[in-house]
Structure 1
Amino acid sequence: MRRGLDHVVHLVRDLDAAGEVYDLLGFTVGARNRHPWGTENRIIQTPGFFIELLQVVEPEKIPPATETAFSFGAFNQGFLETNGEGLSMLALEGRDPAAEKASFDAAGFGGFDLFEFARNARRPDGQEVEVGFCLAFARDPAGPDVGLFTCTQSRPENFWSADLQRHSNQVTAMAGVVLVADVPAQHQAFLETVTGTPVRRALAEWFVGETPRGNVDVMSRGLFTERYGVPAPGGEGLRLAAVRFTTPGVAELSRALAARRMVEEAIEGVVVVPPRAALGATLVFEQATAAA
């Protein structure tokens, strides 16, 4: 089953400071939410996709991982210690968590229990509601520094908000995510398993999977830097490097961010916010077309 992109986790050390950065980028940032296992988040929504800004606030509450229990908190705590701030996890939209887990297990990328939880959320009007999620985790043995899972919501009507999807940067949609690896072909089978869609070679060092919501690009670190003009995340394995958005306001956004010294190299029709300005992440804004 083909799965669209659901969200990414952007791990940060200071959730309020991260909210200010995304506000400067022209995004509407949601209120702070608390997880029972020691992390807190803030959400930036586009239709059907969101960025989860995440901070470890109570490390003593984080449960350890076991052979069959993937610990969301422990993974992100370890990621922060090893890699610092940045894009740590990618979630695909889930519909049937048990079937997704079975698919990951059969392909040799699973073995983890399903993880179901609920938390309170505050809507833009101040109303407090409950949201619920069920996660099915997958792990690439050759990519220990990126977490992938499917996310099935039990109360989506309480989560999605049209008000939170209105942004002054005029972002209309998420176009995709970009991963990097020393040998992109080494991760083709894993990415095909978690996305449920073919991941085909575009160039010698670049593979692309077209999901129902956004593309998954995986390319070499050198090609990433050549294409976007910014450094790729370090390491030898698979890493989540960038999120791509579309907006009709690229020119205006470029001028505004250049004035704030948040962008560097000019690329026609594209604004690239580098890791130094976006807390370890690369954020790419592309000109929206009539069909976008």
Structure 2
Amino acid sequence: MRRGLDHVVHLVRDLDSAGEIYDLLGFTVGARNRHPFGTENRIVQTDGFFIELLQVVEPEKIPPATETAFSFGAFNKAFLERNGEGLTMAVFEGRDPVADKAEFDAAGFGGFDTVDFSRKARRADGQDVDVAFSLAFAASPTAPDLGTFTCLQRKPENFWSADLQRHANGVTGLAGIVLVSESPVDDIPFLDTVSGVSVNRASEGWFVGQTPRGQIDLMSRQLYSDRYGVPGPVGEGLRLAAVRFATTGAPELRRALAARRMVEEAIEGMVVVPPRAALGAAIVFERDV
């Protein structure tokens, strides 16, 4: 099953400070939401995709992980302790969590129970609504610091908001995500499985897969640094390094962010916000053509 990108998780220590940074980047940031398992989030939406800004706020409420139970909270808490802030999870759209689980199990990347949960959400108009999700998790031994799962929206009409998808930076949608690895070729079977698309060689050390929503770029760490002018995430194994957005306002955005010292040196056709300015994540804006 071909799966589009659904969202990424950007783990931070202070949710409100992270919201302020994304506001400076020209994004519309949603209200604070609380999970029943010790974390809180704020959402940055585009059409069909979002960044989940996440903070661990009540560690005592985080359920422990077991051999068959993937703990969202425990994974992110441990990530923060090992690596600090940054992009922790790449999430794909789900249509049938039972079928997703069966596919991941058969490929040797599963073994986890599916998870259903709900929470309250505040819409842009101030109304409180219920949202609900079903998740199927996958994991690779070569990706200890990358969480991966599929997410089925049970009440999408309460989650997605056109008002939250209007951004001052001119972002029109997701372009893709960038992952880095010491040995990219070894991570292709895992990415093929979780995305349901073929991730193929583009050049030496660079592999590309086109999902129904957004492109997957898998690169060596050196190639990533050469292309984007920023260091890759610390640590070993497959890591989520950057999120790429298409925007109609790249030149104006570059000038505004350069004035705030939030961008790296000029890279043709791109505006790169480095991890030092975006709490451990790289945010890339590309001209929407």
Partner of 2:26: 26
CA distance in 1, matches of 2:39, 2:27: 22
CA distance in 1, matches of 2:226, 2:5: 25
CA distance in 2, matches of 1:187, 1:44: 28
Partner of 2:99: 99
Aligned residue for 2:171, secondary structure, equals coil
Partner of 1:282: 282
Partner of 1:248: 248
CA distance in 1, matches of 2:66, 2:121: 29
Using the TM superposition, give the Cα deviation of residue 164 of structure 1 relative to its aligned residue in structure 2, in angstroms. Answer: 0.1
- Structure-to-structure mapping, 1:188-267, within 5 angstroms: 188-267=188-267
Q: Which amino acid counterpart does residue 49 of structure 1 have in structure 2?
A: F
CA distance in 2, matches of 1:145, 1:265: 29
Aligned residue for 1:201, secondary structure, equals strand
Aligned residue for 2:65, secondary structure, equals coil
Corresponding position: 1:164 with 2:164: yes
CA distance in 1, matches of 2:172, 2:7: 15
CA distance in 2, matches of 1:59, 1:8: 21
CA distance in 1, matches of 2:140, 2:175: 24
CA distance in 2, matches of 1:276, 1:180: 18
Q: Which amino acid counterpart does residue 88 of structure 2 have in structure 1?
A: S
Using the TM superposition, give the Cα deviation of residue 153 of structure 1 relative to its aligned residue in structure 2, in angstroms. Answer: 0.6
Partner of 1:11: 11
RMSD: 0.5
Using the TM superposition, give the Cα deviation of residue 265 of structure 1 relative to its aligned residue in structure 2, in angstroms. Answer: 1.0
CA distance in 1, matches of 2:88, 2:231: 16
Aligned pairs, how many?
289
Q: Which amino acid counterpart does residue 21 of structure 1 have in structure 2?
A: I
Partner of 1:90: 90
Q: Which runs of 4+ in 1 moved over 6 A?
A: none
- Structure-to-structure mapping, 1:30-49, within 5 angstroms: 30-49=30-49
Partner of 1:183: 183
- Structure-to-structure mapping, 1:55-94, within 5 angstroms: 55-94=55-94
CA distance in 1, matches of 2:121, 2:19: 17
Aligned residue for 1:286, secondary structure, equals strand
Using the TM superposition, give the Cα deviation of residue 268 of structure 1 relative to its aligned residue in structure 2, in angstroms. Answer: 1.7
Q: Which amino acid counterpart does residue 5 of structure 1 have in structure 2?
A: L
Aligned residue for 1:172, secondary structure, equals strand
Query: Residue deviations 1:154-206, cap 9 Å, x none?
Result: 00000000000000001001000000000000000000000000010111201
Query: Gapped runs of 5+ residues in structure 2?
Result: none
- Identity across matched positions, percent: 74
Q: Which amino acid counterpart does residue 31 of structure 1 have in structure 2?
A: A
Q: Which amino acid counterpart does residue 56 of structure 2 have in structure 1?
A: V
TM-score (norm 1): 0.98
Query: Residue deviations 1:54-81, cap 9 Å, x none?
Result: 0000111111000000000000000000
Q: Which amino acid counterpart does residue 171 of structure 2 have in structure 1?
A: V
CA distance in 1, matches of 2:270, 2:199: 24
Q: Which amino acid counterpart does residue 196 of structure 2 have in structure 1?
A: G
Using the TM superposition, give the Cα deviation of residue 243 of structure 1 relative to its aligned residue in structure 2, in angstroms. Answer: 0.1
CA distance in 1, matches of 2:96, 2:116: 13
Using the TM superposition, give the Cα deviation of residue 236 of structure 1 relative to its aligned residue in structure 2, in angstroms. Answer: 2.0
Using the TM superposition, give the Cα deviation of residue 234 of structure 1 relative to its aligned residue in structure 2, in angstroms. Answer: 1.7
Corresponding position: 1:153 with 2:153: yes
TM-score (norm 2): 0.99
CA distance in 2, matches of 1:126, 1:236: 42
